Structure 1
Amino acid sequence: MAPGWLTARPIAHRGLHDPAAGVVENTRSSCAAAIAAGYAIEVDLERSADGEAMVFHDDTLDRLTEATGPLAALSARELQAVRFRATGDAMLRFCDLLALVAGRVPLIVELKSRFDGDLRLAVRAAEVAAGYAGPLAMMSFDPDLVAALRRLAPDVVRGITAERHYDDAEWTGLTRWQKQRLGNLLHLPSSRAQFVAFGIRDLPSAATWLARHGLGLPLLTWTVRTNADRARARRWADQIIFEGLRP
C-alpha cells in the first residue's frame, strides 16, 4: 500500500519552475522554490556516460542548455559543467537532490527509459536512495524498471507513469501491443506498481478507474496546467502534478 504522504499535497512538476524568472525545471532553484512553498516535488532522472543518475528530463541537452547532443555521452562531471541558458544552476546529481530536499517535502522521481531492457539507471537510483530517510517514491513509464525497483529498493514506493494513447512522436519506437499494454495498465500483475501517475488529458479511463477502485492504487495525474485540468483531477484523481499555476 502506498503511504498517505504520496497524495497529501500538490506535486510541483520538475520543481516549482518559472522560466521568465530564471527558474528552470529540474534544478536546485526550482526544487528550493517548491520546498519554500510547501509542495511535493516531481523530478526526472537520466543516466550519464559514467553511470551517474542526473536530474534532467530530456535525453539531449539542446532544449535547456548551451550544450548539444545526447546527455548520455557526457560524464557526471562534464554535465555539471554544462551551463543552462536561463539560470546559474548546475545540473544536479540525484545524490545532490536528496541532500537538498533532506526529507522536508515528499519527492517523486521519474526514471527515464528507452524501453531497451537497460536497468542500470534503476540500479544506480536505488544505490543512491539507500538510507535516505525522507518520503521518496520512484516511478517510470517502463514497467520493467518499476519491477526492477521492487527488487532493488523494496522500501521505496514505486509507481507507473502512463497515458492512454501514446500518440506523441516520442513513442514511435513502441509497438501497437506495447502501447495497448501500457495504456491499459495490463502489466500491473508483473510490475507491481503501488501507485499510478496518468495523463490528465486521458482521464477518465477504465484502466485508471479499475486501478484506483479495484486495486486501491492512488492515482496522481499530470500535467495539470489550467483550472479545467484541476476540476477534472478533483473528480478522477487523488492528487495533481502541476506547473504554471499555484494550487
Structure 2
Amino acid sequence: MLKQIFARPIAHRGHHDVAQSIAENSKAAFTSAIANRYAIECDLQLTGDDQAIVFHDENLDRLTPQSGKVSDISVGQATNIPLKNSAEHDHIMSFAQLLDFVDGRVPLVVELKSQKGRNAQLAKAAHETAKDYLGVLCFKSFDPDLLVQLHRIKDKWPKGIVVERETPEDESSWTGFLLRHLVHLPLSRPDFVSCDVNSLDLPAVRAYRSSGRDVMSWTINNSERWAIAQENADQIVFENINPQTGRPTAKEAPSL
C-alpha cells in the first residue's frame, strides 16, 4: 500500500487555493485533487463528542466565521459550520463524510493532530471510521504517541511520523531533540517519515532514507523547495505549484 501512497504527488490539505476561493480541507479542494489524480493530505481534529473531523486548527477562528475550540463542539455542530474562503460554501466535513466522498478514487494521507490528553480518543475515532474503508489510506502525526495508540488498537493502515527541525510549541528543547532525532522509533514504529523540506538534512532523516525506507516532504510551494525535495525525498506534499515541474500555478510563494 505504501507504493500506492507514494505513487502520485500529494495535495496539501486538498488541492486548495485561497486566491481561487477553494478553502483548505474543503470538499472543493478534495474534488480538485481527485480531478487531477493527486493524492490528498488532510488533517483530523477531535470534537467534544469524540468524533474525528477534517480540520487543521484547534480553534475555529482562522478557518470559519465562528470562534472557540473544536473540542467544545459536537460533530453535528462542526459539520454545520461553513468554511471561510469557499466559493462553493463548503462546510467542515467529518472524517466519515470524507471517506464516503473520496470512495477510494485517490490515496489519502491523513494527519492526526495532537490532542493534549485525548490522543487515545482520536486514534480510536480515526481507526473505527476507517477500518472498513476500501481505498488506499495512511495515517501520520507529529506526535509519536498517536502512532503508539494506533498500534495499541491494532490499526491496519500504514503509519508515518512527521518531523521538522524546530521544537514544537509548548514543548521542551529536550522533547524537540528527541523528536528530530527520531529517538522514539522503537515505540512509534513508523512505516515512513514525512519531513519538513528544510529539515531533510537532519542526520536521522538521512539515515532513515539511506536504509531504504520512504520519506515524503512538505510543504513544497516554490521551485527552490521542489528542487530540494526531488533530490532528498521520495514524494512531495505540495500547494500552489505544478508538482511535475515545480513551477508556480499562481504567484510563487516566497522562500523560507
TM-score in terms of structure 1 length: 0.94
Query: Structure 1, unaligned stretches of length 5 or more?
Result: none
Which whole-Å CA distance do the structure 2 matches of 1:115 and 1:71 have between them?
Answer: 13
Partner of 1:75: 74
Query: How far apart are residue 185 of structure 1 and its match?
Result: 0.8
Q: Report if aligned partners of 1:117, 1:144 keep a CA contact under 8 Å in 2.
A: no
Q: How does 1:153-172 map to 2 (within 5 A)?
A: 153-166=154-167, 171-172=168-169
Larger CA deviation: 110-119 vs 97-106? 110-119
Q: Report if aligned partners of 2:115, 2:122 keep a CA contact under 8 Å in 1.
A: no
- AA at the equivalent of 1:196: V
Which whole-Å CA distance do the structure 2 matches of 1:86 and 1:4 have between them?
Answer: 34
Partner of 1:48: 47
Confirm or deny that 1:202 pairs with 2:199.
Answer: yes
Q: Secondary structure at the match of 1:197?
A: strand
Which whole-Å CA distance do the structure 2 matches of 1:220 and 1:122 have between them?
Answer: 22
Query: How far apart are residue 189 of structure 1 and its match?
Result: 1.0
Partner of 1:177: 174
Query: Structure 2, unaligned stretches of length 5 or more?
Result: 244-256
Partner of 1:112: 113
Aligned residues with identical type, % of pairs? 39
Partner of 1:229: 225
TM-score in terms of structure 2 length: 0.91
| 1:63-98 CA distance string (max 9 Å, x none) | 111001111111111111112222200110001000
- AA at the equivalent of 2:139: M
| 1:11-48 CA distance string (max 9 Å, x none) | 00000001122110001110111000010000000001
Change (3 A) 1:22 1:220: same
Q: Report if aligned partners of 2:127, 2:155 keep a CA contact under 8 Å in 1.
A: no
Change (3 A) 1:3 1:172: closer
Q: Report if aligned partners of 1:26, 1:44 keep a CA contact under 8 Å in 2.
A: yes
Which whole-Å CA distance do the structure 2 matches of 1:124 and 1:187 have between them?
Answer: 23
Q: Secondary structure at the match of 2:67?
A: coil
RMSD: 1.3
Q: Report if aligned partners of 1:199, 1:223 keep a CA contact under 8 Å in 2.
A: yes
Q: Secondary structure at the match of 1:119?
A: helix
Which whole-Å CA distance do the structure 2 matches of 1:105 and 1:92 have between them?
Answer: 17
Larger CA deviation: 50-59 vs 151-160? 151-160
Q: How does 1:132-151 map to 2 (within 5 A)?
A: 132-151=133-152
Query: How far apart are residue 155 of structure 1 and its match?
Result: 1.8
Query: How far apart are residue 159 of structure 1 and its match?
Result: 0.6
Question: What is the count of residue pairs matched by the alignment?
Answer: 241
